[in-house]
C-alpha cells in the first residue's frame, strides 16, 4: 500500500529474531527499511513486538555492517569482488579436500540460521553432499541437543518434541525457562506472557522452578532449586506418583514399554532423599507431584536451564516421563507432540527416526567419540577437532550466523584454532569476535532482505499457524542469501561429489526450462502438503507460499488448538509404543552421584537472559544499548555480605577452567550460593562493531570447559550452568 504516489510502503511481514515470530509492519521508503512496528492485524501477536524486534531497523542499516566480501590480510580486511572471493575459496576448499579428504571440512551454523529455511537446507546439502566424514555443528549443542536425544530415546525420533498446550492448560510448571524474557523456546507462542496470565485468569496456576526468581517467576509462583539438580527433583516427583498411587498406569500402560522398570529406577529418590541436594522441601515436592497428577489439564515444560547442566538428556527424558506418568501427555491442556499435519505422518516418522538413529549409532566425533544428534557434533569440541592432528582433522571451516568464540566453551582455544587452519570462511553481516579470525567474510542478507517461511518452528506452535513473507527490501550492498553463496561454491569447486553433480545438473535443467532453482519451491511444497495447504490442487482455497504471502500477509491460524490423540503418529518405533527402558538412562541416574562440587569452588554459576540482548549479536543497536548499558552479574546479597562485596562492585569469578571479571548487582531473588552471569558479552575490540566493543563485558564461557569429560555424554551438550565457581573481591 502506498502512502502517496511516491515511494513509502508499509509491508506486513514477521520478525525472525526469536521464536514467537511476531507480526511486523515494515516501513520502506525509497527501497530502504526505515521503521518496524508491531502488526496489529497479526492474529496471534496482535500488536505486540519487543524492543529487539523494533530495533532491528538499526541492524539492517548499521554503518558497521559488512556489505561487501572481505578478505583478511596481514594488515586487516580488504574488500574483494564476489568472483575473486568465491573462486579463491572454492580453489582452496578443493585443495584441502584433495590433500586431506572431505573429513577435513567443517561447518558451524549459529542460532539465527534456524530461522531461515533456505539457510538450513542449503547447508545440509553442502556439508552432507560434499562427501563422508565432514563435521557439522550447530548452536544446538549449546541449547537443545539433549532435548532431541531424549525424544530419540522415548519416541525413537529426535524430531518428536512435546510442547505444553498453553492455551488450554490449567496448571503449567515451567522448569529452567524464563519465557517473559526469552519469549519462548521450543514453543512458538506470541504474547507468551499474556497466554501464561490467561492460565491464572481461568483459575489455574503457573509455577516456575528456577535457581533465580526470574522475571517470569516474579509474575507467578517461584520454587527455588539448586542449579543442576532438576533431574533429582523430577525423579522424586515420579517416586511420589508411583508410591502414592497417583500414576496413571492403567491409562498409559498400553502406550509404553518399561513402566515397571521405571518404577524400580525412581524408587530410591524419595523427596526426603533428594531435598538436601535440590533444596526443595519434601512436602512441596509431594504437593507438586500430586497437583500434576490430579489436575485434569496440566503440563510440565522445561527449557534451556534443564538442558545445559551435566544431565541434560536425563532431565529432558524425565520431564516427558513426568508428563506421561501424570496422565498429561497427548491430552488437551497437557503436553502435546504437534506436527505439520501431513498425510502419512506416522510412516514419515518411522523412516526418518530409523535414519536418524542409524546416524547416531554410526557417526562419532573424532575427539571424545560423541554420537551425532541429527548429524551434528558437540560444538564444545570444535577447536580440538581443528588443532588435534590426525585423520579427519578440520582444515577448512565455514561459519554461518554464529559467533562461537563467545558462545562455546573456551573461546580462546577456538580463536587460536581458527588462526591455525588452512581455510576459514564466515557467512555473516558483522565482523565479530569469531569472523575476525576468518580468511573471508561473505556478506549475507538480514531477515528482511529474504523471503521466508519458518519451517523449523511449525511443530512448536501453541496455536497452529502459518505465515510466509517475501523480502521487504532488496539486499543491502552486495549481500547475498546463504543458499546463493552455497550454490556458487558447489558450482565452482572441483571437489568430486555425486550430490554436487546432481545439484548442478538439476540447476542447469531448471534454468533451461526458464525456472531457475529457488528453494522457495521446497517451502511451497511443504506448505501445500501440510494442514491447511491446498494438497497440490486437491483442496480448493488451500494454502500455498504465494497465497500465504499475498492473500494472508498477516498470517493464518490453521486450527484453534493443537491436535491431541495423535501420539502414535509421533512415535518412530515400529511397535508404536514409548520406550522407557534404556541402559543409558541407568548410567545417567548413577552419574547423579557425581553432584559434588570441588571445595575451593563453593558457588554455582548459572546463565541468564536479558530483555535487550539476543545472544551476542544485537549489542551494536543503539536502541538496545541506550543508557550506557553494560554487562553485569547477579549475586545473592547474603553471599556478597559474607565476602564483603558491595552492590555494583567488580568481582573476579573463577572456575576450574578460567576466570572473568564482572560487576555484580546484589539481590535476594536468587538462591544462596548462586551467581548468574548473562552470556553473549565479551566484545573485546577484535570485532568491527563499535558500540558492542565499547560495551565490552566478559565472556562467561571462559568459565566453562571444552574438555570431552565435561561434555554431556549422550548428546554432546556443553556444560554451561551449575558450573562450580569462586567469587572474590577485585
Ligand atoms: S519477541 Fe522475538 S519475535 Fe517478537 S519482536 Fe521480539 S525479538 Fe522479534
Centroid of ligand 1 to alpha carbon of 47 (angstroms) = 12
Residue minimizing CA distance to atom 2 of ligand 1: 18
Pocket test for ligand 1, best of 53, 112, 446 (most atoms within 8 A of CB): 53
Which grid cell sits at 159? 524430531
Nearest CA to ligand 1 atom 1: 50
Residue nearest atom 3 in ligand 1 by C-alpha distance: 21
Which of ligand 1's atoms lies nearest the C-alpha of 21?
Answer: 3
**pLDDT by residue (tens digit) across 272-314?**
999 999 999 999 999 999 999 999 999 999 999 999 999 999 9
Looking at residue 289, what is its pLDDT?
Answer: 98
HEC-encoded secondary structure of 86-116: HHHHHHHHHHHHHHHCHHHEEEEECHHHHHC
pLDDT of residue 119: 97
Task: Give distance in angstroms: CA of 286 to centre of ligand 1.
Answer: 37
Atom of ligand 1 nearest to the CA of 17: 7
Write out the H or E segment, with its range, that includes residue 503.
Answer: helix 498-512
Cell 513473507, located at residue:
469
Q: How far is the CA of 180 from the centre of ligand 1 (A)?
A: 11
CA of 343 to the centre of ligand 1 (A): 32
Query: Ligand 1, from 13, 16, 20: best to mutate by most atoms within 8 Å of Cβ?
Result: 20
* C-alpha to C-alpha distance for 333 and 572, rounded to whole angstroms: 24
- In this structure, what is the dihedral angle of CA atoms 39, 44, 49, 52, given to the nearest 10 degrees? -120
* 3-class DSSP assignment, residue 454: coil
Q: How close is the Cα of 59 to the center of ligand 1, in Å?
A: 14
Q: How far is the centre of ligand 1, averaged over its atoms, from the C-alpha of 373 (Å)?
A: 28
Residue range 657-690, pLDDT digits in tens: 999 999 999 999 999 999 999 999 999 888 899 9
pLDDT of residue 4: 55
- Please list, in sequence order, all residues whose beta carbon lies within 8 angstroms of the beta carbon of residue 591, skipping any fewer than 6 positions away: 310, 311
- DSSP for 188-214? B-TTHHHHHHHHHHTT-EEEEEESB--
Q: What is the DSSP letter of 662?
A: E
> Which amino acids bring their CB within 6 angstroms of ligand 1?
15, 17-18, 20-22, 49-50, 52-53, 183
From CA 223, how far away is CA 214, in angstroms rounded? 11
Task: Report the SS3 class of residue 122.
Answer: helix
Angle in degrees, 0-180, between the axes of helices 345-362 and 145-155, rounded to the nearest 10: 110
Place of cell 588435534: 388
What value, to the nearest 5°, has the Cα angle with vertex 679 and ends 675 and 683? Answer: 125
Residue 573 in grid coordinates = 518405533
- What was the pLDDT predicted at 363? 84
Taking the C-alpha atoms of residue 534 and residue 175, their distance in angstroms, rounded to an integer, is 39
Which of 170, 145, 24, 242 lies closest to 718, judged by CA?
145
Residue with cell 528453494: 519
List the residue whose alpha carbon is closest to atom 6 of ligand 1.
50
For residue 409, give the nearest of 384, 391, 429 by alpha carbon: 384
Nearest atom in ligand 1 to the alpha carbon of residue 190 is 4
Q: According to DSSP H, which parts of 513-670 are helical?
A: 520-529, 545-551, 567-570, 583-591, 622-625, 637-642
- What pLDDT score does 594 carry? 67
End-to-end CA distance of the chain: 58
From ligand 1's centre to the CA of 421, what distance in Å? 37
DSSP one-letter code for 644: T
45 CA: nearest ligand 1 atom = 4
> What would the grid cell of residue 532 be?
491447511
Cα–ligand 1 centroid distance for 461 (angstroms):
15
Residue nearest to atom 4 of ligand 1 (CA): 22
Within 8 A by CB and 6+ apart from 410, the residues are: 380, 383, 657, 658, 701, 702, 704, 705, 706
Ligand 1 pocket mutation pick from 49, 111, 446, 460 by most atoms within 8 angstroms of CB: 49
Over residues 16-42, the pLDDT tens digits come to 999 999 999 999 999 999 999 999 999
pTM comes to 0.96
Spatial distance between the Cα atoms of 226 and 228, rounded to a whole number of angstroms: 7
**Residue for grid cell 550506557:** 628
How many A from CA of 17 to the centre of ligand 1? 6
- Report the candidate in 450, 471, 469 with the shortest Cα–Cα distance to residue 550: 469
Distance CA 473, CA 691 (A): 25
Residue 99 CA to ligand 1 centre (angstroms):
45
Q: Using the Cα atoms of residue 341, residue 346, residue 347 and residue 351 in order, give the sign of their dihedral.
A: positive
Tell me which H or E stretch contains 652.
strand 650-654
Instruction: Ligand 1, residue 24: give the atom nearest the CA.
Output: 5
Q: What DSSP string describes 128-182?
A: HHS-TT-EEEETHHHHTHHHHHHHHHHHS-TT--EEE-TTT-SEEEEES--HHHH
- Kindly give the distance from the C-alpha atom of residue 14 to the centroid of ligand 1, in angstroms, as a whole number: 9
Helix 498-512 and helix 117-129: axis angle, to 10°? 130
In eight-state DSSP terms, residue 5 is S
Residues 6+ apart with CB under 8 A from 501: none
Distance CA 333, CA 318 (A): 19
As a whole number of angstroms, the distance between CA 197 and CA 335 comes to: 18
| 251 contacts: CB under 8 Å, gap ≥ 6 | 327
- 411-420 contacts: CB < 8 A, separation 24 or more? 411/682, 411/699, 411/701, 411/702, 412/658, 412/702, 413/383, 413/384, 413/387, 413/706, 414/382, 414/383, 416/383, 416/387, 417/382, 417/383, 417/384, 417/386, 417/387, 418/386, 420/386, 420/387
The C-alpha cell at 12 is: 506486513
**H/E element holding 423?**
strand 423-428
Expressed in angstroms and rounded, the spacing between residue 27 Cα and the centre of ligand 1 is: 17
Classify burial at 699, counting beta carbons within 10 Å of its beta carbon; exposed 0-12, middle 13-18, buried 19 or more: buried
Find out whether 186 and 161 touch, Cβ atoms under 8 Å: yes
Site to probe by mutation for ligand 1, drawn from 13, 14, 15, 624 as the one with most ligand atoms within 8 Å of Cβ, is 15
Contact 67, 370 (CB under 8 A): no
DSSP state of 564: -
- Give burial (CB, 10 Å; 0-12/13-18/19+) of 690: middle
Residue spans of the chain under pLDDT 50: 1-2
Distance CA 640, CA 660 (A): 17
Q: Are 372 and 365 in contact (CB under 8 A)?
A: yes
Mean model confidence pLDDT for the chain: 96
CA of 21 to the centre of ligand 1 (A): 6
> What number does the ligand 1 atom closest to the CA of 183 have?
1
As a dihedral over the C-alpha atoms of residue 481, residue 483, residue 486, residue 491, rounded to 10 degrees, the angle is -110
At which residue does the C-alpha cell 578460567 appear?
658
Residue 480 β-bridge partners? 444
Amino acid at each position: 500500500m502506498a502512502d502517496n504516489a511516491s515511494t513509502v510502503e508499509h509491508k506486513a511481514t514477521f520478525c525472525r529474531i526469536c521464536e514467537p515470530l511476531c507480526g511486523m509492519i515494515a516501513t520502506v521508503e525509497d527501497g530502504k527499511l526505515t521503521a518496524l512496528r508491531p502488526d496489529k492485524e497479526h492474529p496471534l501477536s496482535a500488536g505486540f513486538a519487543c524492543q529487539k524486534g523494533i530495533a532491528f531497523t538499526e541492524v539492517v542499516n548499521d554503518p558497521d555492517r559488512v556489505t561487501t566480501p572481505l578478505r583478511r590480510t596481514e594488515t586487516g580486511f580488504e574488500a574483494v569482488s564476489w568472483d575473486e572471493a568465491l573462486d579463491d575459496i572454492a580453489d582452496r576448499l578443493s585443495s584441502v579436500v584433495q590433500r586431506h579428504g572431505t573429513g577435513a571440512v567443517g561447518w558451524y551454523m549459529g542460532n539465527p540460521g534456524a530461522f531461515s529455511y533456505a539457510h538450513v537446507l542449503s547447508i545440509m546439502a553442502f556439508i552432507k553432499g560434499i562427501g563422508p566424514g565432514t563435521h557439522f555443528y550447530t548452536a544446538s549443542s549449546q541449547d537443545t541437543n539433549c532435548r532431541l536425544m531424549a525424544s530419540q530415546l522415548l519416541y525413537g525420533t529426535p524430531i518428536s518434541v512435546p510442547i505444553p498446550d498453553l492455551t488450554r492448560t490449567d496448571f503449567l510448571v515451567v522448569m529452567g525457562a524464563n519465557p517473559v524474557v526469552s519469549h519462548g523456546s521450543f514453543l512458538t507462542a506470541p504474547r507468551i506472557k499474556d497466554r501464561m496470565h490467561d492460565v491464572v485468569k481461568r483459575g489455574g496456576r503457573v509455577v516456575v522452578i528456577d535457581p533465580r526468581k526470574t522475571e517470569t517467576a516474579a509474575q507467578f509462583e517461584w520454587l527455588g532449586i539448586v542449579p543442576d539438580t532438576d533431574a533429582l527433583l523430577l525423579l522424586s516427583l515420579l517416586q511420589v506418583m508411583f508410591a502414592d498411587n497417583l500414576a496413571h498406569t492403567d491409562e498409559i500402560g498400553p502406550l509404553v514399554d518399561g513402566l515397571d522398570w521405571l518404577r524400580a529406577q525412581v524408587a530410591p529418590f524419595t523427596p526426603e532423599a533428594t531435598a538436601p541436594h535440590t533444596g526443595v522441601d519434601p512436602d512441596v515436592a509431594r504437593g507438586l507431584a500430586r497437583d500434576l497428577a490430579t489436575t485434569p489439564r496440566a503440563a510440565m515444560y522445561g527449557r534451556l536451564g534443564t538442558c545445559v547442566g551435566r544431565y541434560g538428556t536425563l532431565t529432558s527424558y524425565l520431564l516427558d516421563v513426568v508428563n506421561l506418568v501424570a496422565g498429561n501427555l497427548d491430552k488437551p491442556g497437557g503436553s502435546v507432540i504437534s506436527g505439520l499435519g501431513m498425510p502419512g505422518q506416522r510412516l514419515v516418522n518411522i523412516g526418518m527416526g530409523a535414519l536418524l538413529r542409524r546416524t547416531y549409532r554410526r557417526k562419532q566425533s573424532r575427539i571424545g567419540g560423541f554420537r551425532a544428534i541429527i548429524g551434528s557434533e558437540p560444538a564444545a569440541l570444535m577447536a580440538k577437532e581443528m588443532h588435534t592432528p590426525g585423520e579427519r582433522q578440520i582444515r577448512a571451516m565455514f561459519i554461518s550466523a554464529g559467533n562461537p568464540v563467545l558462545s562455546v566453551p573456551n573461546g580462546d582455544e577456538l580463536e587460536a584454532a581458527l588462526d591455525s587452519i588452512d581455510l576459514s570462511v564466515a557467512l555473516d553481516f558483522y565482523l565479530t569476535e569469531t569472523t575476525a579470525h576468518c580468511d573471508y567474510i561473505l556478506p549475507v542478507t538480514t531477515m528482511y532482505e529474504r523471503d521466508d517461511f519458518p519451517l523449523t518452528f511449525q511443530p512448536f506452535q501453541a496455536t497452529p499457524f502459518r505465515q510466509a513473507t517475501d523480502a521487504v527490501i532488496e539486499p543491502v550492498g552486495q549481500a547475498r542469501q546463504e543458499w546463493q553463496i552455497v550454490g556458487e561454491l558447489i558450482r565452482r569447486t572441483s571437489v568430486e561429489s555425486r550430490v554436487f553433480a546432481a545439484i548442478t545438473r538439476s540447476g542447469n535443467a531448471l534454468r533451461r526450462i526458464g525456472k531457475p532453482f529457488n528453494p522457495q519451491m521446497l517451502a511451497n511444497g511443504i506448505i501445500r502438503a501440510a494442514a491447511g495447504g491446498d494438497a497440490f490442487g486437491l483442496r480448493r482455497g488451500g494454502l500455498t507460499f504465494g497465497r500465504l504471502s499475498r492473500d494472508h500477509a498477516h498470517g493464518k491460524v490453521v486450527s484453534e488448538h493443537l491436535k491431541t490423540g495423535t501420539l502414535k503418529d509421533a512415535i518412530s518405533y515400529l511397535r508404536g509404543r514409548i520406550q522407557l527402558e534404556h541402559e543409558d538412562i541407568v548410567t545417567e541416574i548413577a552419574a547423579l552421584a557425581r553432584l559434588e562440587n570441588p571445595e575451593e569452588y563453593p558457588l554455582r554459576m548459572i546463565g541468564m537472559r536479558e530483555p535487550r540482548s539476543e545472544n551476542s549479536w544485537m549489542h551494536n543497536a543503539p536502541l538496545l544499548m541506550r543508557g550506557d548499558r553494560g554487562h553485569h552479574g547477579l549475586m545473592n546479597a547474603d553471599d556478597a555480605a559474607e565476602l564483603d562485596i558491595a552492590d555494583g562492585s567488580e568481582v573476579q569469578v573463577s572456575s576450574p577452567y578460567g576466570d572473568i571479571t564482572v560487576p555484580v548487582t546484589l539481590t535476594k531473588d536468587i538462591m544462596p550460593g548462586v551467581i548468574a552471569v548473562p552470556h553473549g558479552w565479551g566484545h573485546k575490540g577484535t570485532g568491527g562493531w563499535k558500540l558492542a566493543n565499547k560495551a565490552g563485558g566478559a565472556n562467561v564461557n571462559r568459565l566453562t570447559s571444552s574438555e570431552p569429560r565435561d561434555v554431556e555424554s549422550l548428546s554432546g551438550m556443553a556444560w554451561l550452568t551449575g558450573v562450580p565457581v569462586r567469587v572474590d573481591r577485585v
